[in-house]
Amino acid sequence: MVTKALRSLPAWVGLLALTPLAALAIGALTGDDGGATRALAATRLIDMTTSSMLLVFGATLGVSCIGAGLAWLVCNYRFPGRGWFDWVLMLPLAAPSYVLAYAYLDLTQAAGPLQSALRDATGWRVGDYLFPEVVGLPGAILIFSLCLYPYVYALARSAFNGSGGQTRDAARLLGCTGAAVFWRVGLPMARPAVAAGAALAAMETLADYGAVAHLGVSTYTVGIMRAWSSAGEPIAAARLAVVLVVICLALLWIERAARGRGERFADAASSPPSLIQLSPVRAWVCSGLCLLVLTLALVVPTAYLLSISLDAGPSRGLTDAVVRTLLLAITAAVILTLVGFGIASATRSGSPMARATQQLMSAGYATPGAAAALGILMLVGAVSTLLPDTSIIVAAGPALLIAAYQCRFGSAAQGSVAAALSRHPSVLDEAARTLGCSETSLIGRVHWPLARTGLLTGALLAFVEVVKEQPATIILRPFDFDTLAVLAHGYASEERLAQAASPALAIVLVCAPAMIAVAWLTRQRSLEASANRPTPVGAVPV
Amino acid sequence: MPLTLRQFLRLAILAASVCVVSVGLVGCNDSDATSAADDPGFINLYSARHYDGDDAIYEAFEKQTGIEIRRIEASGDLLIERIRAEGSASPADVVITVDAGRLWRASEANLFAAMPKDSELLTRVPTHLRDPSGEWVGIAKRARVIVVAPDRLAADSVPTYASLADPALKGRLCVRSSSNIYNLSLLAGMIASQGEEAAETWARAIVDNMARTPQGGDTDQIRAVAAGVCDVALVNHYYWVKLASSASEADQSVAQGTQIVWPDQDGDGVHINVSGIGLASDAPNKANAERFIEFLLTSDVQTQLANSNNEFPATDAELNNPALEALGSPIESQAEIWTYGAYQAQAAAIFDRVGWQ
Ligand SMILES: [Fe+2]
């Protein structure tokens, strides 16, 4: 009885962490918004929705092309630096989109260093020449494509490595050119993986506020913040946020349905293909492409921020902020991963409640951070009347923050664990049960070892997300608890980019080792897969 | 060495408790431990100001009184929402925002208590910079000004906010997004003084005159004027002063290529907004909070507070900021600044109607 209750604990925690969304929905349905939603709907909401849709379309296309293209090169061809690019290409996920937006707008705008130098050199004036400024919708599409392509890259790489190698070799023997093999064999097999990665990128793009606001794109999320901040109507913001979450869930459902059909292809799994030797020119073109993406996504923005931060020096409290950020993100990552493991394990054992929680949790990922924080505040508002004094709220501060992270990123941690578990056939569980393994020891002796790499990957991804997270951290953090993301936002909102640069760079530096570890883990996994061949299992490429 | 679940759980619990304890230590310092009768205690400050210079002022207060200041910094809306949610259990003692409209909103939501009326220091702030019912008070003033590139547009051709609506300026004006509070308060002030219709007509004309879709902050608009993207911009004065007094040569040349125009000097005077402070209605450390508010209004601190962001003191304290003084002393609008809050939602609706992004 007790053990059964313990086993369902993670699912309860997962559900509990979603109550802010319920509070948001209840507020949206029952509250009074002073007519703000209607006023916005009558004026700019359609434009905002349209630009959100264009942005998501463009960014999804961008991450798919860059991510799948690079993964194809790395998995199929021999070229200089291939082994290095293989994992370094994951690194851009360490840089938050708002950091890229700060750097690129400053660098490329008419008053920025590039255009100023051009004008000085040529004597031209603004308007005499064309220059690609990273601003507006195209700029935002570029930023998100560069920031988020590693989602697609990682999943597509596992898919290309893990399955269909022999099919591709066969296609080549039958005379298919490289491009034809990609379009006719490789891509159809990796399509579910590409779609899953693109879906993650799409949700992150939809929920973003920092980068789009800075680049002057009026998206739907900007509308949510306007309803809250300019019109002073949090209820209107809640309504718009709930609609956004529903749309995201629908997108996700479509993606899952599509993946379900794709799995049949992937079942033909076997070995990674043998690497193809390219002519020197082509090989260098491959290296150049990889290097170009890496330069644009990471080298240029960090180098630029470094150059301006050298003038300003490190911002106040930077080392304290690094320590706090690490403590907070490590604590959150451990908790999120343990909860995720509990839910994934219970789902595998057939608990309907865990399965339902698992699916509901993706709603949190699609919620803009500020809306999740608003939900938590609504919840706090509902219970604060019952509290005797302030000390409880102060004491509960860190817990609320962790709850916000569980709400937003719980599904990311859980997904990695579940994916690791799903690579092993459920006959293992049945065999263990037959051998007298109890349900409880099944968790520790079968599921835990099977999920090992997934646990680490999940914890690292949760860590990176928490370090980068801005709005919920800003509003829910305890007193005197500035993290790196909070510092960066504070300076940037006061237009002191030079001072914002050092915390922004520190975010990248803190996240980079975690991303390297993720890249290394996923590579280990594909090596394992090829060492164990032929394996009839490992059906799901994620 | 593969870890079993049991070993891992032990490790994780250990690690988590270490983390939680250290988070607690870093977060709350050690003042809870001291319970001596003469402990002056602390205040919980919710602030929307993020200026490094303010730190020195807070430290001076801590040194002088022994009262510790615990801070949360975020934008005004988020702070107000947090206090509203925390309700009567809120630990907030004082709230600082960088806009009068936010203070008005907090006051409307009954989040503020009246400040002591007999305080001589409070009355040093002119009445139009205070809440009529005495729940909040301005502590530093900023002006919304016009910046021109004098080689392309004569300063005297744009002497008023109204002159920015001149069709001759089509495609020559830079201004930031209307989501920004500074623009909201400016338009709210216009609604209060000239009515909704006039304000909407003006906003529509501004959109027609824009050189580009709003992007970036006020500093970006000034830089755009210097670079030649546009000839005139609408910004807060301290951003220009910061560029002019910057150590960077690039910033200085931006300031040299542009010029501040104080608008409406023959009329109502330049639009003024404030950083302001309010006393939270359920302040657990009320006496300390009142001491803090009074401290901020003393003459020396007023000068220091204004200087930390190149603003003007809210009281008649001296300025002592050569870069700002060089710009002369503008005639300031005497509009009741609480009206910015009252008309802010209307202003947002106008911006939406005229399509000011
Ligand atoms: Fe400002």
Cα(B110) to ligand 1 centroid in Å equals 26
Instruction: Tokens 């001296």: give the residue.
Output: B318
**What residues have CB less than 8 Å from A196, skipping those under 6 apart?**
A155, A255, A259, A542
Whether the predicted pLDDT of A41 surpasses 90: no
Residue A488 domain flag: no
Residues B105 and B156 occupy one common structural domain: no
Using the beta-carbon criterion (under 8 Å), do A377 and B89 form an inter-chain contact? no
pLDDT single digits (tens) B249-285: 889 999 999 999 999 999 999 999 999 999 998 889 9
Any chain B CB within 8 A of the CB of A434?
A: no
Least confident of A133-147, A244-258, A480-494, B192-206: A244-258
pLDDT above 90 coverage of chain A, percent = 24
What distance in Å separates the CA atoms of residue A480 and residue A477, rounded to the nearest whole number?
8
pLDDT at B31 over 50: no
Place of tokens 């510092």: A487
- With cut-offs at 50, 70 and 90, classify the pLDDT of residue A158: confident
A211 shares contact with chain B (CB less than 8 Å): no
Q: What is the DSSP letter of A186?
A: I
Take residue A497 and report the two structure tokens written for it.
């980019």
Q: What is the mean pLDDT of residues A75-79?
A: 89
> Distance of CA A182 to CAs A73, A273, A286, B322, Å?
10, 13, 15, 67
| Stated pTM of the model | 0.86
- What's the token pair of residue A239? 């309504």
Mean pLDDT of chain A: 83
Cα–Cα distance for residue pair A480/A488, rounded to 1 Å: 15
In DSSP terms, B43 is beta-bridged to: B69
Contact A377 B82 (CB under 8 A): yes
Report the pLDDT value the prediction gives residue B239, as an integer from 0 to 100: 95
Q: Over pLDDT 70: what percentage of chain A?
A: 91
Number of C-beta neighbours around residue A123 at 10 A: 7
Q: What is the mean pLDDT of chain B?
A: 87
pLDDT band at A383 (very low <50, low <70, confident <90, very high): confident
* B6 falls within a domain: no
Q: Can you tell me the distance from the alpha carbon of B181 to that of B198, in angstroms, rounded to the nearest whole number?
A: 20
Query: Quick one: average pLDDT of B309-318?
Result: 93
Predicted confidence at residue A273, as pLDDT, reads 63
Q: How far apart are CA A89 and CA A277, in angstroms?
A: 21
State residue A23's pLDDT score.
87
- Grouping H, G, I as helix, E, B as strand and the rest as coil, residue A182 is helix
Give me the torsion for CA of A165, A170, A171, A174, rounded to 10°.
Answer: 160
Task: Taking the CA atoms of A266, A268, A269 and A274 in sequence, report the sign of the dihedral they define.
Answer: negative
What's the pLDDT score for residue A261? 57
A13 pLDDT higher than 70 = yes
Per-residue pLDDT tens over the stretch A347-372: 888 888 888 888 888 888 878 888 88
Please tell me whether the interface predicted TM-score (ipTM) of this complex is above 0.85: no
B19 vs A219, more confident: A219
Task: Check pLDDT > 50 for residue B35.
Answer: no
Distant-in-sequence, close-in-space partners of A435: CB < 8 Å, separation ≥ 6:
none
Is residue A107, in this structure, part of any structural domain at all? yes
| Region B80-105 average pLDDT | 87
Distance CA B93, CA B45 (A): 6
Asked if the model's pLDDT at residue A52 lies above 70, the reply is yes
Residue of A230, A439, A484 for testing the chain B interface, max B β-carbons within 10 Å: A230
Half-sphere exposure of A294 (CA within 13 A, CB side): 16
Q: Which residue shows structure tokens 């399955």?
A: A163
Which residues of chain A make contact with B89, given a CB cutoff of 8 A?
A: 384, 387-390, 392-393
Q: How far is the CA of A457 from the centre of ligand 1 (A)?
A: 41
CA proximity to A182, closest of A70, A71, A72, A67: A72
- Is A474 contained in some domain? no
CATH number at residue B97: 3.40.190.10
Strand-pair category, B136-148 with B312-313: antiparallel
Closest-CA residue of chain A to B211: A127
Does residue B12 form part of some domain? no
So what's the pLDDT on residue A533? 42
Tell me which residue in A338, A443, A494 faces B51 most closely, judged by beta carbons.
Answer: A494
- For chain B, give the longest Cα–Cα distance: 80
A460 touches chain B (CB under 8 A): no
On whether residue A238 sits in a domain, the answer given is yes
CB contact residues (below 8 A), chain A span 107-126, against chain B: 109-111, 113, 115-116, 119, 125-126
Q: What is the pLDDT of residue B11?
A: 63
Q: Are residues B69 and B156 located together in one domain of the fold?
A: no
CA of B49, closest CA in chain A: separation in Å?
9
CA A517 to chain centre: 16
Q: Same domain for B201 and B252?
A: yes
For residue B241, the SS3 value is helix
Confidence class of residue A528 from pLDDT cuts 50, 70 and 90?
low
Task: With cut-offs at 50, 70 and 90, classify the pLDDT of residue B331.
Answer: very high
Which band of pLDDT confidence, cut at 50, 70 and 90, is reported for residue A526?
Answer: low
Tell me which chain A residues have a C-beta less than 8 angstroms from the C-beta of B52. 316, 499
R_g of chain A, CA atoms, integer Å:
24
Distance B322 CA to ligand 1 centre (A): 20
CA distance A474 to chain B (A): 6
Residue B8 counted as domain residue: no
Domain identity same for B345 and B296: no
The answer to whether B81 contacts A475, with C-beta atoms less than 8 Å apart, is yes
| A229 touches A55 (CB < 8 A) | no
Q: Are residues B54 and B73 in the same domain?
A: yes
The 10s digit of each residue's pLDDT in A170-193 is 777 777 777 777 887 778 878 888
Higher pLDDT among residues A316 and A466, named by residue = A466
Q: How far is the CA of A498 from the centre of ligand 1 (A)?
A: 16
Q: Position of tokens 């962790």?
A: A402
A2, pLDDT greater than 80: no
Shared-domain flag, residues B340 and B254: yes
Does residue B73 sit in the same domain as residue B159? no
For A195-309, list the strands marked E by DSSP: 276-277
- pLDDT, tens digit, 9 for 90 and up, residues A78-122: 999 998 998 899 999 999 998 899 899 999 988 888 888 898 888
Which residue range(s) make up the domain with B79?
Answer: 38-141+273-325
Query: How far is the alpha carbon of B9 from chain A, nearest alpha carbon, in Å?
Result: 9
Work out how many domains chain A is built from and give that number.
Answer: 1
pLDDT, residue A34, reads 75
- Residue A120's Cβ-count burial label (10 Å; 0-12, 13-18, 19+) is exposed
Amino acid residing at A242: V
> What CA–CA distances, in Å, run from B284 to B105, B287, B289?
21, 9, 9
Classify strands B42-47 and B68-73 as parallel, antiparallel or unpaired.
parallel
Structure tokens that stand for B219 in this block = 């500093």
B113: β partners: B279
- Residue A334 C-alpha, separation from nearest chain B C-alpha, in angstroms: 7
Would residue A229 count as lying in a domain?
Answer: yes
- Inter-chain touch B6–A444, beta carbons under 8 Å: yes
Domain membership of residue A464 (yes or no) is: no
Total domains in the fold of chain B: 2
Under the banding of pLDDT at 50, 70 and 90, the label for residue A536 is very low
Which residue of chain A comes nearest to B52, CA vs CA?
A: A316
The answer to the question of residue A24 being in a domain is no
Rounded Cα distance between B157 and B164, Å, is 9
Domain-embedded: residue B81: yes
**How many C-beta atoms surround the C-beta of residue A117 within 10 A?**
10
Q: What angle do CA A228, A231, A236 make, to 5 degrees?
A: 50
**Prior bond to A534 cis, omega within 30?**
yes
Q: Which domain holds residue A75?
A: 32-111+130-306
What pLDDT score does A510 carry?
93
